[in-house]
């Protein structure tokens, strides 16, 4: 069963399962701390209660006590976890740079494999661009300056 009551601060109508009666929560509208009233005939949302007169309800709502108790876990559930929030709204352009020199193993060249794996991990739909790069480096053995290639993957993530 749901309890319907109004925030004493902003009069926002709130609905909560009666199992939460007596808990202290912040109003989702104005953040004022309020206590969820015990269920009674005036605020229960079922059966005859929903026909209770608006005036009777109004009185009840103003009688809701305000508690200074610290916020209860119920609130934390209402807030989206940070990670979810980041996934929802905050996708940024990112880059991944893959240099050919980092993909060489003894007797093997894993450049294509490495790039393919990176693309698969990022996902087709997230790839914005693929840019070839060239760079120079000093080869350890010969101390020669060599040039090589690589790729920068620009993606959303």
| Residue whose CB is less far from Zn ion, 21 or 154 | 21
**CA atoms within 13 A of residue 118's CA, in its CB half-sphere:** 20
| Residue whose CB is less far from Zn ion, 5 or 155 | 5
Q: In terms of C-beta density within 10 A (0-12 exposed, 13-18 middle, 19 or more buried), how is residue 109 classed?
A: exposed
Per CB under 5 A, residues contacting Zn ion are 7, 9-10, 12, 27, 29-30, 32
Tell the smallest beta-carbon distance from residue 32 to Zn ion (Å): 5
Tell the smallest beta-carbon distance from residue 86 to Zn ion (Å): 28
Q: Are 71 and 25 in contact (CB under 8 A)?
A: yes
| Residue whose CB is less far from Zn ion, 78 or 106 | 78
Q: Are 48 and 56 in contact (CB under 8 A)?
A: no
Tell the smallest beta-carbon distance from residue 93 to Zn ion (Å): 39
Tell the smallest beta-carbon distance from residue 4 to Zn ion (Å): 14
| Residue whose CB is less far from Zn ion, 21 or 119 | 21
Between CA 88 and CA 38 the distance in angstroms is 36
């Amino acid at each position: 069963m749901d309890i319907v009551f109004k925030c004493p601060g902003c009069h926002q109508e709130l609905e909560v399962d009666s199992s939460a009666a007596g808990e202290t929560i912040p109003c989702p509208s104005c953040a004022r701390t309020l206590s969820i009233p015990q269920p009674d005939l005036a605020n229960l949302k079922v059966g005859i209660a929903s026909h209770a007169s608006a005036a009777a309800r109004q009185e009840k709502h103003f009688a809701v006590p305000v508690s200074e108790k610290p916020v209860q876990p119920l609130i934390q559930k209402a807030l989206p976890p940070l990670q979810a929030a980041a996934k929802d709204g905050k996708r940024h352009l990112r880059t991944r740079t893959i240099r050919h020199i980092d993909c060489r193993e003894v007797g093997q060249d894993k450049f294509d494999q490495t790039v393919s794996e990176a693309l698969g991990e990022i996902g087709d739909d997230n790839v914005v661009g693929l840019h070839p790069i060239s760079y120079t480096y000093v080869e350890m053995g010969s101390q020669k300056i060599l040039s090589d290639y690589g790729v920068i993957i620009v993606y959303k993530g």
